[in-house]
Amino acid sequence: MPDPTSRNLNEELNTAKQAQPENVGALNREQLTPEAAAQPQGHDVPGHDHAGHSHDDLSFDDHDHDHDHGPAGDHPYLLPGISLGLLLAGLALDYFGVGFFSGYVRLVWFGVAFLLVGWKVMQAAVLSIPSGNVFNEFLLMTIATLGAFAIGEYPEGVAVMLFYTVGELFQDAAVNRAKRSIRALLEIQATEVTVLRDGQPLVLDPRQVQPGDLMEVKPGEKVALDGLLQTAAASFNTAALTGESAPQTKQPGEAVLAGMINLETLAHVSVTAAFADTKLARILAMVQDAVGRKAKTQQFITRFAKVYTPIVVALAVLLVVVPYFVVEDYAFRTWLYRALVFLVISCPCALVISIPLGYFGGIGAASRAGILFKGSNFLDVLREIDTVVMDKTGTLTQGVFAVQQVQPAPGVEPARLLRLAGALEAKSTHPIAKAVVAHAGAAAAGAAVEGVEEIAGHGLRGQVEGQEVLAGNARLLSKFGVAYPPEIDEVADSIVVVAVDGQYAGYLTVADAPKEDAARAVQELKADGITRLIMLSGDKDSITQRVARQLGISEAHGGLLPEDKARYVQQYLAEGRRLAFVGDGVNDAPVVALADVGIAMGGLGSDATIETADVVIQTDHPSKIATARRIARATHSVVWQNIWLAFIVKGIVLTLGAGGLATMWEAVFADVGVALLAILNAVRIQRMKF
């Protein structure tokens, strides 16, 4: 079992999952900066800037016909507009039979209209040859349109290239919209921070600030770095991180995260993490990686396009050659025209652009809902799961313990019990220990504590004001031979039993309440087709069963160590279950890695679990699991709508074209029209409400 505290836990554990997906062409920092987002995107000319051709700055590396349309320039539609004007004027001159409009005049007229929109496409077809990327849509468009010119069909050749180029412009617009939905995340990163040093305010780049520095955050300012609030209670807008509009009030000593906005009062925050290590920085890194990871559908389309395009070219050649041997009145021009129509129809744009755009839209929609998918492949896997296994504390419950009862032994003052227990538990970071310390408050302040020993799975032993004090579970007292009342073993809540100088001194009960939406989360998952819901917890089994009954979970197991949780998950997987595990603690990281989909609570969750997880819920709301599944299903539905749309329409028009019943105009619709419809359908995901 890997060390769950390792900072490289993600690398150690993900070998237990699927093979690492490709991450070629993922978004990089320069492409994601707000400054880059402000730059216009699209075509500087109506064709493409293909020196580094790809939509890969969006990570659509799977889109092998790779478009990088270059900087937009001020008027991306100018040259297509001129070309359209020349085309329409030429058609009018043809229609009215104007005398001068024939021969070379007509060729030059339509030739200029063609070159305005076709030059870059032809250039791209040539430049892609040395890299081995010969059979792409640039080649299909070039052959088809030059062929149309060769047989005298000038207007149709211009129309095919013009509408193809206009289609590319609309594709760019859709892609850039998807980019902006992700780039918007970066706009919540503060670009400067005020730090107090020697009592003097200094305005610095957040990268220059170190843990331990004291930030000053004015009302209306963004918090630049993670830290702990040092001044009075303050309200913060956390919508950019969590998707929740309601402000959160932070108390002194509570965590404040980069990206939050201070709403009302001047706040001082002690920095706890460098700029690169903030939760926000990790979120952005997750999104950056996510757009480079392909779903199975995307991988299929990538492989399909590589095989499909050369086959289409071969079939077009056969469509010209074979009829020569089998058709009595063979006319080369007729069959060449049909082959050119066939090539235009066959362009795979609708598939190779709209499908990754659909997945990217799903990732963007999820991020706005406070759900981070680390790859589009996990959208597919989450949709397929039938079993959800959840941790209890911090996942279904609030993870905030509070002392419910103080029960001293006869002859022991409650205040004395609290002072001794609180002073000793102050040396522990366990949530239950923190609850005891918070409840003891000033009563434990100033107590002399030394020689503290933490006994794993039991509790603490140490000297408090010269007395030996034990504080932990009943097993701790048994270990040191301290007798205690047998009814303690029957207490359902978490319990801290205390002994002083070898004598039982009393106990405190500590409880954790379910989250407000925990019961709704369980109901929604059941209604959503999850056939098996299981809760695994390291807490006492009696407490685990009580919480399970409260929430409507029929199967629960308590008193588990990390290896026990892993054993249960391996058992469910061996039964053929498609399983998601939801957790938040360091001890959940190994199980998160084993599951088909690991889901981490990003607010309360440990760094190790968040790094290992495939999906991170920033709001810590378990009901978001069902939301994530709805987004995954919507994405899958849109992607397959596009696939069927493209195949059906292209299949029909291909058949008509081969039979001479479809012209270049129908071919343009089958290519550009279907691509635009598919892209508009993919963009719908970004507008859906989940």
Residues in Cβ contact with 204 at an 8 Å cutoff, skipping those fewer than 6 apart: 192, 193, 194, 195
End-to-end C-alpha distance for the chain, whole angstroms: 38
Find the DSSP H helices in 4-102.
Answer: 9-13, 29-32, 34-38, 78-96
- CA angle 29/31/37 to nearest 5° reads 120
489 is catalytic: no
Burial of 127 (0-12, 13-18, 19+ CB in 10 A): middle
Residues in Cβ contact with 617 at an 8 Å cutoff, skipping those fewer than 6 apart: 370, 371, 372, 599, 600, 601, 602, 624, 625, 628
CB contact at 8 A, 374 and 293: yes
Cα(211)–Cα(199) distance, integer angstroms:
17
Q: Give the closest residue to 498 by CA, choosing from 514, 515, 480, 513.
A: 480
Query: CA–CA distance from 607 to each of 10, 108, 279, 446, 562 (Å)?
Result: 10, 66, 9, 33, 17
- Pairing between β-strand 532-536 and β-strand 555-557 as defined by DSSP bridges: parallel
Strands (E), 483-550: 494-500, 503-511, 532-536
Burial of 413 (0-12, 13-18, 19+ CB in 10 A): exposed
**How far is CA 322 from its chain centroid?**
51
Q: Residue type at 648?
A: I
β-bridge partners, 544: none
Burial of 95 (0-12, 13-18, 19+ CB in 10 A): exposed
Annotated catalytic residue: which of 391, 584, 596, 614?
391
Cα(252)–Cα(228) distance, integer angstroms:
7
Q: Give the closest residue to 170 by CA, choosing from 675, 666, 647, 685.
A: 675
Residue-level length of the chain: 690
Phi and psi angles of residue 215, each rounded to the nearest 5 degrees, phi first:
-90, 150
Cα(223)–Cα(220) distance, integer angstroms:
10
Residues marked active site are found at 391
